[in-house]
Amino acid sequence: MNAGEENLLKSISNDTLLDLTQRYGQSAFGFGPGQITGSPGGRYPLTPAADFLSGQTGKSNESGGEQTSDDDDDRFDPLDPRKRGSAFDDDKHGGPLSKKPKEQRSLRLSINARERRRMHDLNDALDGLRSVIPYAHSPSVRKLSKIATLLLAKNYILMQAQALEEMRRLVAYLNQGQSITSSIPTPIAPFGQAAVYPFTGSALATCAEKYSGTPASLFKHHNDKP
DNA sequence: TAGGCCATCTGGTCCT
DNA sequence: AGGACCAGATGGCCTA
């Protein structure tokens, strides 16, 4: 996780994230301390969540499209240096393609366009992933990097699986207690008392928070690497 | 200025 | 043969 994403965590939510960063720190992303070193900022502009979400609006599925030429992609901007591509496909720059036959050049441009669309589809899928995992989507928060998105999603899935498992155990425990104490009503011990409640302390102490879907609950678990 | 992140091009490989 | 997928190379942008 870079410093930009560290800042992201700090700006997710004034209340929950303060607690989050203090308790779980950077390991919430699943990175080890050694992987945090360097920590120069990310390149992301202060992109609102709606910014990359709006990139999906009105977007057709280009993978199944019939467009084949190099300039058919509406997201491809020849005037934008970051979207224009390298000088290799520019005759005026005398790139390798300029020495190839026109047919080969045309084929290469077609392949390039296809690859570009494929990568755009991949990025759209990543945007979709960002939109469903709980992290701040406010304009003041940087967009998650690709690697951070994947790691955060992985932790989120693992946390949800654990939450589900503990919920099952909770239901089983309640059902069991009901059958045993049906004749003699006994007060049930409060959550968190491990002596009478066979669940992990973390599961009990933050039961409500755990299932509320807050970022804190997301970052809390599964910091270890497989 | 270094390093992180990204988009794009490119050639290779595999699959249909 | 054509398309999908992949990884390496390259260069631009941004931030500390």
Q: Quote the CA–CA distance of A114 and A45 in Å, as a whole number.
A: 27
- The pLDDT score that the predictor gives to residue A162 is 96
Residue nearest to nucleotide B10 (CA to C1'): A112
Please provide the distance, in angstroms rounded to a whole number, between the alpha carbons at the two ends of chain A.
Answer: 18
Footprint of strand C on the protein (CB under 7 A): A 3-4, 7, 39-46, 63, 68, 81-82, 86-87, 110-111, 114-115, 118
* Nearest by Cα to A5 from A156, A153, A146: A146
Read off the pLDDT of residues A53-69 as tens digits, 9 standing for 90 and up: 233 322 333 333 333 33
Q: The domain at A100-177 falls in which architecture? A: Irregular (4.10)
- The pLDDT score that the predictor gives to residue A106 is 84
Through-space separation of residue A86 CA and nucleotide C8 C1' in angstroms: 15
pLDDT band at A141 (very low <50, low <70, confident <90, very high): confident
pLDDT band at A193 (very low <50, low <70, confident <90, very high): very low
Q: What is the pTM of this model?
A: 0.54
Q: How many residues are present in chain A?
A: 226
Tell me the domain boundaries of chain A.
100-177
Asked whether A67 and A60 are in contact (CB, 8 A), the reply is: no
Q: Quote the CA–CA distance of A93 and A73 in Å, as a whole number.
A: 22
Please enumerate in sequence order all residues whose Cβ is within 8 A of that of A173, keeping only pairs 6 or more positions apart, or say none: A197, A198, A199
pLDDT band at A161 (very low <50, low <70, confident <90, very high): very high
Residue A135 DSSP label: S
DSSP A152-183: HHHHHHHHHHHHHHHHHHHHHHHHHHHHHTTS
Amino acid at A222: H
Through-space separation of residue A21 CA and nucleotide C12 C1' in angstroms: 33
Which bases in strand C are touched by protein, i.e. have an atom under 7 Å from a CB? 3-7, 10-16
pLDDT band at A102 (very low <50, low <70, confident <90, very high): confident
Q: How far, in whole angstroms, is CA A185 from its chain's centroid? A: 47
Q: Quote the CA–CA distance of A127 and A117 in Å, as a whole number.
A: 15
